[in-house]
């Protein structure tokens, strides 16, 4: 609901608008002027295979824009064609290869969205490898890459169906229980024991691989009610840390996620 007025709206006007438009009084965008003069810029590189289409990652871009406003930052998006990061590109199109690597080095954070097919996958893996080595922030979203692999890190959920696509996903609000409240994931939610968030998945971390991951330094700090399905993963690195989620933060009230 957008209102125009010559002066600031009083409490009685807001209450009347709330009553007749079914908009809670507390959900009011205040100090909109400060959003127009945000001076702190953040560069986010999106490593994708559909970068030629301006709207291919529209939902991702909008989500990052909303998050940046809450953090008082303005995002500059840099769409990087993942194929340009592959070794073959260094020989076939060196200018594009150098430009893509320059985008990686110059970004404040990287997002690697999912995609279909083999094309561009190697470039995504190389981008993730580069960023892990340089301790750069990275958000990756994908499933198992090699369907013929003998060692599957990500598997199809047993209760799902590989033949019927409708109504077979793990959908809706599900609970994630933290092993301890003294972890970064729990603290981001306000030192809680569990959190309910929206899920939309057919895949999960292979439970048989969890001991190997944990022995190598990964920490699965959040699990489902059975303790067998992994939800939150933490990786502590030199002077930094990484977090991996198997859900989208859409249920928790925004105030709990505003950690500054």
Let me know if residue 31 belongs to a domain.
no
Expressed as residue numbers, the domain containing 170 is 146-260
The side-by-side arrangement of strands in the sheet containing 230-237 is 194-201, 170-178, 218-223, 230-237, 240-245
Q: What is the pLDDT of residue 211?
A: 92
Domain boundary among 97, 119, 142: 142
Same domain, 127 and 167: no
Contact by Cβ (8 Å): 137, 127:
no
Contact by Cβ (8 Å): 201, 195:
no
Let me know if residue 12 belongs to a domain.
no
Q: What is the pLDDT of residue 183?
A: 82
Same domain, 123 and 176: no
CA atoms within 13 A on the CB side of 141: 17
Q: What is the pLDDT of residue 81?
A: 93
Element (H, E) at 196: strand 194-201
Q: What is the pLDDT of residue 166?
A: 55
Give strand pairing partners of 80. Answer: 47
Same domain, 122 and 208: no
Q: What is the pLDDT of residue 18?
A: 87
Domain boundary among 110, 142, 174: 142
Let me know if residue 177 belongs to a domain.
yes
- Contacting residues for 189 by C-beta, under 8 A, at least 6 apart: 195, 252, 256, 257
Q: What is the pLDDT of residue 258?
A: 36
The CATH number given to whatever domain includes residue 257 is 3.40.50.880
Residues of the chain scoring pLDDT < 50: 249-260
Distances (CA, A) of 146 to 84, 139, 150, 185: 21, 20, 9, 29
Q: What is the pLDDT of residue 254?
A: 39
Let me know if residue 21 belongs to a domain.
no
> 93 by DSSP, 3-state: which?
coil
Same domain, 159 and 183: yes
Q: What is the pLDDT of residue 102?
A: 93
Distance CA 121, CA 74 (A): 29
Same domain, 209 and 133: no
Let me know if residue 32 belongs to a domain.
no
Structure tokens, 96: 């594009």
φ and ψ of 194, to 5 deg:
-155, 165
Query: What b/e sequence results for 25-44 when a residue is b if at least 16 CB atoms lie within 10 Å of its CB, and e otherwise?
Result: eeeeeeeeeeeeeeeeeeeb
Q: What is the pLDDT of residue 98?
A: 94
Same domain, 99 and 123: yes
Q: What is the pLDDT of residue 143?
A: 55
Contact by Cβ (8 Å): 219, 173:
no
Let me know if residue 23 belongs to a domain.
no
Same domain, 74 and 126: yes
- Contacting residues for 82 by C-beta, under 8 A, at least 6 apart: 47, 48, 49, 112, 120, 121, 123, 124, 127
**Number of structural domains the chain divides into:** 2
Element (H, E) at 236: strand 230-237
Same domain, 129 and 153: no
Same domain, 115 and 212: no
CA-closest candidate to residue 236, choices 190, 178, 184, 180: 184
Domain boundary among 97, 113, 142: 142
CA-closest candidate to residue 209, choices 228, 234, 195: 228
Let me know if residue 14 belongs to a domain.
no
Same domain, 63 and 125: yes
């Amino acid at each position: 609901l957008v209102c125009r007025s010559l002066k600031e709206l009083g409490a009685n006007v807001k209450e009347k608008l709330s009553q007749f438009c079914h908009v809670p009084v507390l959900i009011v965008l205040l100090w909109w002027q400060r959003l127009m003069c945000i001076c702190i810029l953040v560069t986010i590189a999106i490593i994708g295979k559909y970068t030629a289409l301006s709207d291919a990652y529209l939902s991702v871009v909008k989500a990052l824009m909303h998050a940046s406003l809450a953090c008082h930052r303005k995002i500059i998006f840099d769409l990087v064609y993942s194929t340009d990061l592959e070794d073959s590109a260094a020989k076939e199109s060196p200018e594009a290869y150098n430009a893509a690597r320059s985008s990686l080095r110059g970004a404040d954070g990287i997002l690697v969205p999912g995609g279909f097919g083999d094309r561009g996958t190697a470039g995504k893996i190389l981008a993730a490898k580069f960023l892990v080595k340089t301790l750069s922030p990275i958000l990756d979203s994908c499933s198992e890459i090699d369907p013929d692999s003998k060692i599957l890190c990500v598997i199809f959920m047993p209760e799902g169906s590989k033949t019927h696509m409708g109504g077979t996903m793990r959908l809706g609000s599900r609970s994630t229980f933290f092993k301890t409240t003294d972890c970064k994931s729990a603290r981001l939610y306000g030192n809680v024991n569990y959190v309910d968030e929206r899920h939309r998945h057919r895949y999960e971390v292979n439970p048989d691989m969890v001991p190997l991951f944990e022995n190598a330094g990964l920490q699965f700090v959040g699990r489902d009610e059975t303790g067998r399905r992994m939800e939150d993963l933490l990786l502590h690195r030199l002077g930094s840390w990484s977090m991996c989620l198997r859900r989208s933060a859409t249920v928790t009230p925004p105030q709990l996620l505003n950690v500054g």
